[in-house]
Amino acid sequence: MKYIKRNEVKIKSYRPLIIFAIVMTLILIYSRSDGEKGNQKDFGLIASEKTLPDSFYNASARGLDYVVRKRTNQTEFEGAWNFYRFENKPPKVDLSQKDIIFIGLVESSNCPYEIDNEKMELSSVNQAIKLILPKQYGACFLDAIPRTFVIEIDKGISKNIKNVVIVNESGEETSIPFK
């Protein structure tokens, strides 16, 4: 007669439960990371330079400190790249899958804005990309230095986006329609 140690029996009886827990944990981790990757695939920052169009205040919406353009093909993209006076060459973008949004604004010279995917939200309610400008801490100069951000967005999502909502440091929202 073979004797089984009590510890071996407990481990063997819990083995299916342990395997099930590990598999479910992996599924949850994979589904969360896949969702985050999905959001990053939908839109994201592809360029940023200290530049603005020569006619910034004439081109800005309603005299605001923002110039926003949406471009859907290579010719429009290159034209906007030149309009905003970028020094670097434009990045390679698959414009059959993506649209491009240019957002020009002014910032403090010693407190520049840094934008990433976490500071951008899609809002299907008001058909907009919401850009949240980060709070600036410290003694920021009150000068106005140019800055343009270039965002790529999936065409499937872009077709429903009609404007950009910029949220400034005090929480004030400004909606700017595309030109």
The pLDDT value given to residue 46: 92
Residue pair 154/42 in contact by the 8 Å Cβ criterion: yes
pLDDT per residue as tens digits for the range 62-120: 556 788 999 999 999 999 999 999 998 999 999 999 999 999 998 888 888 888 777 78
Q: Is residue 47 part of a domain?
A: yes
Amino acid occupying residue 27 = I
C-alpha dist (Å) from residue 175 to 40, 43, 60, 67, 157? 23, 19, 12, 11, 18
Instruction: List CB contacts of 4: < 8 A, sequence separation 6 or more.
Output: none
More confident residue, 11 or 157: 157
Q: Is residue 10 part of a domain?
A: no
Q: How many domains does the chain have?
A: 1
Tokens of 3: 């004797």
Task: Find the mean pLDDT for residues 41-55.
Answer: 84
C-alpha dist (Å) from residue 5 to 9, 18, 87, 173? 7, 20, 75, 69
Domain limits for position 77? 43-177
Q: Is residue 38 part of a domain?
A: no
Q: Is residue 142 part of a domain?
A: yes
Torsion, Cα of 159, 48, 44, 121 (10° steps)? -80
Q: Is residue 60 part of a domain?
A: yes
Q: Is residue 172 part of a domain?
A: yes
- Whether 31 has a pLDDT exceeding 80, the answer reads no
- How far, in Å, CA of 112 to CA of 6, rounded? 66
